[in-house]
Amino acid sequence: MPENLQFASLILALLAIPLSHVNPRGGRSYNLVFALLLYMTYSNLLSVSQAQVVQGRVSFALGWWPIHAVMIAIAILMYARQLGLLRARGRR
Protein backbone atom coordinates (compact mmCIF):
# COMPACT_ATOMS: atom_id res chain seq x y z
CA MET A 1 0.00 0.00 0.00
CA PRO A 2 1.44 3.39 -0.89
CA GLU A 3 2.61 5.54 1.95
CA ASN A 4 0.04 8.19 1.12
CA LEU A 5 -2.91 5.84 1.59
CA GLN A 6 -1.61 4.51 4.89
CA PHE A 7 -1.62 7.97 6.47
CA ALA A 8 -4.90 8.91 4.84
CA SER A 9 -6.56 5.76 6.20
CA LEU A 10 -5.27 6.44 9.70
CA ILE A 11 -6.31 10.09 9.64
CA LEU A 12 -9.77 9.31 8.26
CA ALA A 13 -10.25 6.66 10.95
CA LEU A 14 -9.29 9.20 13.62
CA LEU A 15 -11.71 11.73 12.12
CA ALA A 16 -14.55 9.20 12.16
CA ILE A 17 -14.71 9.14 15.97
CA PRO A 18 -15.57 12.82 16.60
CA LEU A 19 -17.72 12.93 13.47
CA SER A 20 -19.85 10.06 14.75
CA HIS A 21 -20.74 12.01 17.90
CA VAL A 22 -24.34 13.21 17.65
CA ASN A 23 -25.86 15.95 19.75
CA PRO A 24 -29.31 14.74 20.85
CA ARG A 25 -30.74 18.22 20.40
CA GLY A 26 -29.21 18.76 16.98
CA GLY A 27 -29.71 17.06 13.68
CA ARG A 28 -27.75 14.05 12.53
CA SER A 29 -27.26 15.22 8.98
CA TYR A 30 -24.85 18.02 9.94
CA ASN A 31 -22.04 15.60 10.78
CA LEU A 32 -22.72 13.50 7.70
CA VAL A 33 -22.54 16.49 5.37
CA PHE A 34 -19.42 17.79 7.12
CA ALA A 35 -17.76 14.34 6.90
CA LEU A 36 -18.57 14.07 3.20
CA LEU A 37 -17.18 17.54 2.43
CA LEU A 38 -14.10 16.88 4.55
CA TYR A 39 -13.40 13.59 2.76
CA MET A 40 -13.93 15.10 -0.70
CA THR A 41 -11.61 18.01 0.08
CA TYR A 42 -8.94 15.73 1.55
CA SER A 43 -9.12 13.32 -1.38
CA ASN A 44 -8.93 16.11 -3.95
CA LEU A 45 -6.00 17.79 -2.21
CA LEU A 46 -4.12 14.49 -2.12
CA SER A 47 -4.79 13.92 -5.82
CA VAL A 48 -3.61 17.40 -6.76
CA SER A 49 -0.47 17.13 -4.64
CA GLN A 50 0.26 13.66 -6.06
CA ALA A 51 0.07 15.04 -9.59
CA GLN A 52 2.38 17.91 -8.69
CA VAL A 53 4.92 15.57 -7.08
CA VAL A 54 4.86 13.19 -10.06
CA GLN A 55 5.35 16.09 -12.48
CA GLY A 56 8.29 17.35 -10.40
CA ARG A 57 6.76 20.73 -9.60
CA VAL A 58 6.87 20.14 -5.83
CA SER A 59 9.13 18.01 -3.66
CA PHE A 60 7.69 14.98 -1.89
CA ALA A 61 7.96 16.49 1.60
CA LEU A 62 6.34 19.74 0.53
CA GLY A 63 3.60 17.98 -1.43
CA TRP A 64 2.41 15.33 1.05
CA TRP A 65 3.04 16.36 4.63
CA PRO A 66 1.28 19.73 4.85
CA ILE A 67 -2.03 18.19 3.73
CA HIS A 68 -1.75 15.41 6.30
CA ALA A 69 -0.68 17.90 8.99
CA VAL A 70 -3.74 20.08 8.35
CA MET A 71 -6.06 17.08 8.58
CA ILE A 72 -4.41 15.94 11.83
CA ALA A 73 -4.86 19.47 13.20
CA ILE A 74 -8.55 19.36 12.25
CA ALA A 75 -8.88 15.99 14.01
CA ILE A 76 -7.21 17.37 17.15
CA LEU A 77 -9.51 20.40 17.14
CA MET A 78 -12.55 18.16 16.74
CA TYR A 79 -11.45 15.98 19.68
CA ALA A 80 -10.80 19.07 21.80
CA ARG A 81 -14.23 20.46 20.93
CA GLN A 82 -15.90 17.16 21.77
CA LEU A 83 -14.11 17.00 25.12
CA GLY A 84 -15.08 20.58 25.93
CA LEU A 85 -11.56 22.00 25.89
CA LEU A 86 -12.45 24.79 23.44
CA ARG A 87 -15.28 26.40 25.37
CA ALA A 88 -15.18 30.12 26.06
CA ARG A 89 -13.99 30.88 29.56
CA GLY A 90 -16.72 33.40 30.34
CA ARG A 91 -19.58 31.00 29.55
CA ARG A 92 -20.98 28.38 31.92
Measured in Å, how far apart are the chain's first and last C-alpha atoms?
48
Share of the chain above pLDDT 90, in %: 25
Q: pLDDT band at 90, cuts 50/70/90?
A: low
Tally of domains within the chain: 1
* Inside any domain, residue 4: no
Print the domain residue range for 38: 28-84
Most confident by average pLDDT, 14-23, 40-49, 75-84? 40-49
60-83 and 29-55 helices, crossing angle to 10°:
160
pLDDT recorded at residue 1? 43
Classify residue 62: in a domain, yes or no: yes
